[in-house]
Amino acid sequence: MTAHETAVARYFEAWNVEGAENIDKAVAAAWTEDGSYTDPLADVSGHEEIAAVIKGAHEQFPGFEFRRTGVVDGHHDIARFTWELVSPADGSAPVAGSDVITLADDGRIRTVHGFLDRVPTA
């Protein structure tokens, strides 16, 4: 597994793990202390704020899981990948997007720039 694939695997682990304490640990494993996450709905930095965004997604979509939908494409310290938010119960995927990440020297994520390609209507 490449460094890009490893970082993306840790990213999805942080988004999918259950329980506040486990999310906090997974975020610390995936992101640098000063790491950031930016998408159309959030612009946060640091472990605490990133974990809060993930916990909010769990509250909004209980029981759903994030799944990668394509390959990880990476070079240098940059990678991109696509994903969906899927209900294991019925297979529906109301949210989909793509992310671009940059990695620190230790392989953890320094930045995430997310794009939402599909979102549920109000």
pLDDT at 22: 98
37-87 per-position pLDDT tens digit: 999 999 999 999 999 999 999 999 999 999 999 999 999 999 999 999 999
pLDDT surpassing 80 at residue 111: yes
Q: Report the residue count for the chain.
A: 122
- pLDDT, tens digit (0-9, with 9 covering 90-100), for 4-39: 999 999 999 999 999 999 999 999 999 999 999 999
Residue with tokens 């993930």: 54
List b or e across 26-55, with b for residues whose CB sees 16 or more CB atoms inside 10 angstroms. Answer: bbbebbbeebbbeeeebebbbbeebbbbbe
Residue 106 DSSP code: T
Identify whether the C-beta of residue 67 lies closer than 8 Å to the C-beta of residue 86: yes
pLDDT of residue 120: 87
What pLDDT is recorded for position 122? 65
Instruction: Give residue 1's pLDDT.
Output: 87
Q: According to DSSP H, which parts of the chain are helical?
A: 3-16, 20-30, 47-60
Please tell me the distance from the alpha carbon of residue 49 to that of residue 36, in angstroms, as a whole number.
9
Taking the C-alpha atoms of residue 103 and residue 57, their distance in angstroms, rounded to an integer, is 23
C-beta separation of 120 from 96 below 8 A: no
